[in-house]
């Protein structure tokens, strides 16, 4: 058995916490894992463990629990419920003294305790508040300036959805909606702006009116959040977005823990970081596990600079976990252009990276294959084609299906509108959205709008649904989070945490998808998305040339195309590698100088120097 397979087998073994606590001493940890475990035992500082893709992060979390004092109280904050269940069911975590949950579950438990068991999640709460908010603002036109521009049914629906979106981002980012300047920055940052479904006025006049309506929406958010808080305090009704926000607003005090281990910390939003900080204020030592180069959830309200801000706010020691046991050497070589300190397992079996044509891919699918795409529409097209070939196929992300259904509902004013008027409403509004985004040189937003439109139109053309309810159910049936089909399709965002022996990445020529308006944080996250995509493959990575109207059902053998892998993407990989390497080295030197300056004794200085040497060697850089 080679070292790589031994690691995999040992990390998957089920055992009791007592057995694992003994086993952890002889477990075949690599040099970085051993250093981290020794540092955790010898230091009292908060720590940031920067774990590359496939580095055995979950196993290290389990090892950390086993090496901490046996009577210590430990909290593990996992990224999602799947990781929570994985940690609980493997049997290595002593759940009698180690609490494992998502941050949302932690926040909910605090609210339940505060409300003496009366707290309950109500997914219809936002809809109820929106009705009350709109009624309030329409009944006081002299105060709220709402009737200057009368809105039709569809226009009012879009206005209500904008209020809901702005309120959600205010809660996630802890932005005060009464601070107009900050709220305007928020809307600009996340593209939260009102747009008419059609061109009603000349371009300049319509733009000014749309800006004014966006300001009305911001005013409505102030009232919306006050009502949301009032309902929560009086009835215990909570929306999902209320959880972290109310814990922060009401300054709820969490239970005391000795240690708090936070998974996927690079994708925390401001409200989640505030909750983690409250644990530190209660005496918990914080250990963050994550990877700045896998920060990809900025579009949902996560702080794109979360990893750096965490390091600064909590003064963490930054520790590398840089060996990827998942990917073959050819994949590692390619991915190192994005993450220069990424290292491969020397005993990993040989695989391949190939740039191929789309013809015949579905004919060659094997059980356990994974198909990835930056956007949803290609996944729907390929999933339906796979089903027509009698393959067991599903798309990851049930809530994506629910989101598309919510969009579809916006354009149905009456059941009798299906499908003609629905199609007219959908197409005219998206045409307007895409045109406006392109005029503003926001190519990424335009691509996202186009993707949503294509998803709905392609489903409509394929389903031949007799009514709207049937259409919605057929759409939802494409998505599944519970069962692993023979062929799993996923957006890159949804694939984080997944792996497969063979991965097919659709339309790699469009990656990273850079935005014309040059929002730096969006460009950085697009590059991170490429890294996440490349690092899902264990043995074989196929970059699938997918022309705009490519038919996934076309038969054939897998055909390799005559083009260098490094030239497939929109990014100059060599130039980017040099740039990132310099940034990381500057950061390492700064951390070293600051650490030496703040060191309490010679032993701590030796630790800092040792860590500095490790980081420099990872970048294959001469030591200063």
Question: How would you classify residue 301: left for phi > 0, otherwise alpha for psi between -120 and 50, otherwise beta?
Answer: left
57 is in an annotated binding site: yes
DSSP label of 479: B
Interatomic CA distance for residues 19 and 90, integer angstroms? 12
DSSP helix/strand/coil, 419: coil
605 is in an annotated binding site: no
**369-373/343-344 β-pairing:** unpaired
54 is in an annotated binding site: yes
First to last CA, the chain: 40
**Angle of the 420-439 helix axis to the 153-173 helix axis, nearest 10:** 50
Interatomic CA distance for residues 325 and 332, integer angstroms? 10
User: Which of 307-321 are b and which e, b meaning 16 or more Cβ less than 10 Å from the residue's Cβ?
Assistant: bbebbeebebbbbbb
Q: Output the CA torsion sign for 203, 204, 207, 212.
A: negative
Neighbours of 71 (CB within 10 A): 7
**393-395/343-344 β-pairing:** unpaired
| Burial (Cβ within 10 Å: 0-12, 13-18, ≥19) of residue 414 | exposed
Q: Are 522 and 334 in contact (CB under 8 A)?
A: no
Neighbours of 389 (CB within 10 A): 15
Report how far Cα 36 is from the mean position of its chain's Cα atoms.
26
Neighbours of 455 (CB within 10 A): 25
Interatomic CA distance for residues 33 and 323, integer angstroms? 9
User: Which of 30-61 are b and which e, b meaning 16 or more Cβ less than 10 Å from the residue's Cβ?
Assistant: bebbebbbebbeeeeebbbbbbbbbbbbbbbb
Interatomic CA distance for residues 213 and 199, integer angstroms? 15
Q: Minimal CA–CA distance to 608: which of 317, 181, 357, 283?
A: 317
Report the side by side order of strands in the sheet with 500-506: 352-357, 537-545, 500-506, 369-373, 487-491, 393-395
**Pair of tokens at residue 278:** 């409250």
53 is in an annotated binding site: yes
CB proximity list for 586: less than 8 A, separation 6 or greater: none
Interatomic CA distance for residues 82 and 504, integer angstroms? 24
168 is in an annotated binding site: no
Q: Are 91 and 23 in contact (CB under 8 A)?
A: no
Enumerate the known binding-site residues for ATP: 51-58
Enumerate the known binding-site residues: 51-58
């Amino acid at each position: 058995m080679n070292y790589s397979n031994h690691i995999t087998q040992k990390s998957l073994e089920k055992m009791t916490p007592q057995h694992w606590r003994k086993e952890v001493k002889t477990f075949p940890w690599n040099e970085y894992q051993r250093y981290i475990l020794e540092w955790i035992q010898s230091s009292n500082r908060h720590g940031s463990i920067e774990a590359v893709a496939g580095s055995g992060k979950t196993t290290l979390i389990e090892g950390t629990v086993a090496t901490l004092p046996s009577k210590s109280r430990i909290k593990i904050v996992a990224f999602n419920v799947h990781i929570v269940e994985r940690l609980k069911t493997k049997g290595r975590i002593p759940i009698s003294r180690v609490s494992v949950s998502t941050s949302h579950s932690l926040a909910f438990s605090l609210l339940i305790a505060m409300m003496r068991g009366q707290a309950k999640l109500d997914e219809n709460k936002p809809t109820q508040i929106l009705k009350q908010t709109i009624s309030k603002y329409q009944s006081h036109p002299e105060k709220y300036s709402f009737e200057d521009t009368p809105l039709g049914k569809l226009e009012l629906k879009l206005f209500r959805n904008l209020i809901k979106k702005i309120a959600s981002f205010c809660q996630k980012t802890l932005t005060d909606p009464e601070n107009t300047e900050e709220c305007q920055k928020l809307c600009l940052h996340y593209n939260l702006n009102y747009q008419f479904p059609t061109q009603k006025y000349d371009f300049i006049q319509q733009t000014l009116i749309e800006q004014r309506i966006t300001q009305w929406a911001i005013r409505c958010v102030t009232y919306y959040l006050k009502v949301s808080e009032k309902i929560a305090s009086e009835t215990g009704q909570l929306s999902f977005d209320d959880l972290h926000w109310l814990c922060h607003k009401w300054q709820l005090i969490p239970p005391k823990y000795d240690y708090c281990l936070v998974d996927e910390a690079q994708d925390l939003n401001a409200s989640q970081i505030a909750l983690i900080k409250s644990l530190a204020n209660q005496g918990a030592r914080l250990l963050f596990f994550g990877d700045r180069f896998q920060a990809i959830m900025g579009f949902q309200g996560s702080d794109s600079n979360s990893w750096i801000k965490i390091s600064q706010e909590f003064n963490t020691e930054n520790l590398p976990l840089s060996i990827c046991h998942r990917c073959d050497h050819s994949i590692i070589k390619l991915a190192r252009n994005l993450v220069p300190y990424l290292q491969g397992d020397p005993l990993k079996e040989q695989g391949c990276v190939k740039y191929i044509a789309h013809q015949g891919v579905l004919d060659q699918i094997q059980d356990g294959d994974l198909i990835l795409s930056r956007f949803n529409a290609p996944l729907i097209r390929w999933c339906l084609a796979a089903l027509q070939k009698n393959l067991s196929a599903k798309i990851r992300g049930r809530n994506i299906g629910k989101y598309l259904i919510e969009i579809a509902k916006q354009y149905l004013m009456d059941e009798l509108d299906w499908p003609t008027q629905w199609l007219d409403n959908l197409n005219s509004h998206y045409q307007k959205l895409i045109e406006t985004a392109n005029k503003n040189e926001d190519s990424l937003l335009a691509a996202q709008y186009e993707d949503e439109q294509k998803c709905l139109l392609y489903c409509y053309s394929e389903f031949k649904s007799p009514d709207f309810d049937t259409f919605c159910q057929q759409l939802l049936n494409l998505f599944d989070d519970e069962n692993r089909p023979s062929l799993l399709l996923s957006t890159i965002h949804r694939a984080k945490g997944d792996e497969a022996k063979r991965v097919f990445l659709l339309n790699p020529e469009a990656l990273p998808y850079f935005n014309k308006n040059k929002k730096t944080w969006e460009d950085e996250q697009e590059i991170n998305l490429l890294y996440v995509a490349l690092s899902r493959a264990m043995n074989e990575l196929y970059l699938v040339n997918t022309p705009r109207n490519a038919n996934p059902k076309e038969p054939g053998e897998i055909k390799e195309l005559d083009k260098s892998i490094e030239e497939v993407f929109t990014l100059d990989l060599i130039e980017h590698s040099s740039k990132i390497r310099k940034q990381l080295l500057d950061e390492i030197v700064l951390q070293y100088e600051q650490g030496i300056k703040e060191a309490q004794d010679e032993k701590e200085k030796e630790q800092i120097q040792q860590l500095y040497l490790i980081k420099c060697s990872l970048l294959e850089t001469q030591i200063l």
